[in-house]
Structure 1
Amino acid sequence: MRIRLQLFEFEDLAWFPVVVRAGMMDYLRFMITHLHTYRPIVPLLAEGMRRTQQTQVLELCAGAGGGAEDVLAALHAAGMPAARIQLTDLYPQSAAWTHVRTQTQGAISFEPQAVDALQVPADLEGFRAVFSAFHHFPPSAAEALLRNAVEAGRGIGVFEGAAKHWLELVLACTVLPLAQLCITPFIRPFRLSRLVFTYLLPLIPLCTIWDGCVSILRMYPPEDLLALAHRADPTGRYQWQAGKVRHRWGPRVTYLIGWPQSVA
C-alpha cells in the first residue's frame, strides 16, 4: 500500500485527556511486549550499537515504553549483557515507566522531563531509536528528527511494527479491539480509570481503533524512509539501510537504521 495520508491521531493532540492517552499507551505496551513485535529487528539494533560502541538505547517518543522490556531481553540474549534502555517522550509517562524500571531492576530507566525528538539534549546519550512513532511526524519533521541525530553524530533506528498492508487495517478495526476488551483487566500497573474509559465510557478502545488505522495510513514505506534519510544527511556521512523483516509467524516490521560511516 503506497498511499500515505497525513491524518490526525488523538494521542498527538495537546488537549487530549491525559488519562485516555495513558490508557491507550498502556494497551500498546502490553500488546507490543507480549506479541514480541520488535524481536525481528534486534539483530539490526545490536549491530548499530556495536558499530557505534554504545551499550545504551535512547528511545525517543517512547509512549508507555511498549516493547522496551522485550527488546532489552533480546539484546541481552544477543550477546549484549550490558545493554540498557533510557525512555524519553514529549509527554512523559512516569507511572508506566516506573513500573517498567521496577520490572527490569533499573536496566530500563527514563528521563522525567519532556524531550523533543527533534531537539534531543546533548547530555542524553545512546543509540537513538524510535519504535511505533515515526509515522506521527510529517515529512519535514521526520527529516528534522533524522538530521538532529546526524548533526549529533548519533546512530539512529526507526522501527514500525507493521508493513502498511490493507489486512492490517482490517485487523485494527476487528480483531484488535476485541483483544483490547479481553486483556484490559490484566494490564499493569492497574488503573481504575482504564476500566472506566474502556467499558463504561469506551474512549480508549474507540480512539485506539482510529489511531491504529491512521498509524498505518501515515507510515512511510522503506523507499520513503531512505529518501528522508538522504535529505537529512546530504553529505553522505552515514551508512543507511531500510527494509522490512518478517516474524516467523507472519507479520513484518518496517525499519530504517543508520550510523556514521567513520565507525562502519
Structure 2
Amino acid sequence: MSRTCEGRIVIITGAGGGLGAAHARVLASEGAKVVVNDINEPAAQAVVDEITAAGGEAVVNTSDITNYDDSLNAVKQAIDTFGDLHAVVNNAGINRDRMFASMTESDWDAIMAVHLKGHFCISSHAVHYWRGLSKEGRAVDARIINTSSGAGLQGSVGQSNYAAAKAGIAALTLTQAAELGRYGITVNGLVPVARTGMTTAVEAMAQRMAKPEDGSFDYFAPENVSSLVAWLVSPLSAHVTGRLFEAEGGKVAIADGWRSTEPVDKGERWDPAELTDAVAQLLAREVPAQKVFGS
C-alpha cells in the first residue's frame, strides 16, 4: 500500500516531544524523510532513533528557530542530507502564562520569539529556496504548515501573550498563502487539541486528557492530529491553501475567520453621540463570537 508522504522531505520544529515528536513519527511512517528540529538534542535524538528503528529516515537538527541565521542550517541540512525540501511544519512552542496585569516584558518577549518569530525564520529560508527553484522553471509542490491555537482564534484568559502570538500566526498563514501560491507553495494552519507537556501542565487538564486504561479510542493522543499534518504535507493537499484546520480526536474542522458584517452607513461623518444607536443596530444583528477560553 502506498504511503501518503513517500519521499517527501520535511522539517518539523520542536519535534523532540509532544505534538512535534508525534508528527515526526507519523510522517516517517507515511514515507517522509524527517529533519527533527529541537534545541534539546537528546530528546530529538531519541525521536530519530525511534524512527530509524522502525525503518524510517530522520536526522537531528538543533538550530535555534528564533535565530534567523542559525535557522538557515535546518534548511541546509535537509537539502544536504536528503537532496531537497518539500515542507516545513512549524510546531515549536512554549508557555509563559500570566494574567495580563501581572505579565512581564520577558514573558511577552519569550512567547513572541518562539511562536511568532519562530514561524518566520525557517519558513523564510525555505521560501527563498523554493522561490529560486520556481524561477529556474522547476516544478515546486511545497508546504508550510503553521500551528495556531484556539487561544489565538478566540482569546484565552491568562494567556494574552500566547493568544496574541497565535492570532498573529493565523494572520501570517492567510498572508503567506495569498503571496506564495505563485511559487508552488501552499500554506495552511493547524489548531490542535491533544495531550502534550504544555496542555497537561495543569493537573485538571492532565486528568481530563489521560490515556484511557480500557484500551478504547485515545481521544487526546497527539497522533490523531498528526494524521492531518501528514495529509497536508502530502501531494494530496496541493489544491488547499489559506485554511486553518481544527483537529481534535477524530474530528477535523475548518475554523471560520473574521468577516465584515453589513454596515450602518450614514453617508457622511457621524457625530460621536449618534454612534450609540448605530452600534446598537450592529450588535443586535451580529452572530456572537465564541466565548474566550476561561471566561
- TM-score, length-scaled by structure 2: 0.40
- TM-score, length-scaled by structure 1: 0.43
Larger radius of gyration: 2
* Higher RCO, 1 vs 2 (CA within 8 Å, ≥6 residues apart): 1
